[in-house]
Amino acid sequence: MKFISWNIDSINAAVEHSSDRGKMTWGVLENLAAAKPDVLAIQETKLKDTGLTKKHLAALTELFPDYHIYTNSSTARKSYAGTMMISKEEPLAVDYPTIGAPGEMDQEGRIVTLEFPNFYVSTVYTPNAGSGLDRLADRQMWDDAYRAYIDGLNAKKPVIFSGDFNVAHEEIDLKHPSTNHHSAGFTDEEREKFTLLLDAGYTDTMRAKNPGTPNIYSWWAQRVKTSKVNNSGWRIDYYLVSNRIADKVTDSFVVDTGARQDHAPIQLEINL
């Protein structure tokens, strides 16, 4: 089976593809559709609380004919955050959970979970701790609540879960670790919470397939024009699986998006 996950940074920008960046984003989405994944998970849809417009739905349906589309949009802030699943097979059930997160995080459309006969597929857009780490305390509470949520799924059947986790776990996962220890996404607190998640019974599939391999990143800052050219990036997007199905993973990698900066999709291949 083939699973792809991507922080798209606005469905609308992709569908409209009126700017150069929008055209690149649409081109990536077309390539992902051509790959015919079993499930495509998308984060940061930035949809309104009413979800997909008719134009959005028509465009996605043309790219993904006969797929099933599920969206979870923010009701707390307009055109903010949000997640989506596009599935070839109709799931047994779909959940847009609230996990007891602090503040408005549960209203920001951050999780979609699909249940299939033998496993769950979930995606998450983890809250950012903020440029001044003003949301770090709330972020830590989110991490605890999210881990408890995934553990609840895992107690029933194995879980495949992906998304923008907004953390580079180890120093190997970003280009300049020494200057970022107090930056959102690489604080000790965020990294420790991610370690706790893995220790609860889950495998970071890309790192399991590429142990010790440096310079593998999934995000390059847009505001730094040379970040992609110089491969000065961060690996903050992950496919995690329950340990008991980790041996079924055949590949896990970052999808090439050429010159487009920001997030790149990640792909998981697994025999289930």
DSSP-derived 3-state class of residue 249: strand
The Cα 153–Cα 266 span in angstroms is 22
Q: Is 182 a known active-site residue?
A: no
Could you tell me if 17 and 25 are in contact, meaning their C-beta atoms sit under 8 angstroms apart? yes
The Cα 37–Cα 4 span in angstroms is 6
Whether 44 has a binding-site annotation, put simply, is yes
The Cα 201–Cα 69 span in angstroms is 29
Whether 263 has a binding-site annotation, put simply, is yes
**Among candidate residues 88, 201, 68, 71, the one with its CA nearest the CA of residue 123:** 71
Q: Is 125 a known active-site residue?
A: yes
Whether 176 has a binding-site annotation, put simply, is no
Whether 154 has a binding-site annotation, put simply, is no
Whether 247 has a binding-site annotation, put simply, is no
Candidate list 125, 202, 217, 239, residue with the active-site label? 125
Candidate list 38, 164, 173, 237, residue with the active-site label? 164
**Among candidate residues 58, 6, 83, 68, the one with its CA nearest the CA of residue 38:** 68
Which residues does 72 contact at the CB level (< 8 Å), separation at least 6? 82, 83, 84, 96, 109, 110, 111, 112
Beta strands 159-164 and 120-125: pairing type?
parallel
Q: Is 237 a known active-site residue?
A: no
Whether 16 has a binding-site annotation, put simply, is no
The Cα 220–Cα 228 span in angstroms is 6
Binding residues for Mg(2+): 7, 44, 164, 166, 262-263
Q: Which residues are designated catalytic?
A: 125, 164, 263
Binding residues: 7, 44, 164, 166, 262-263
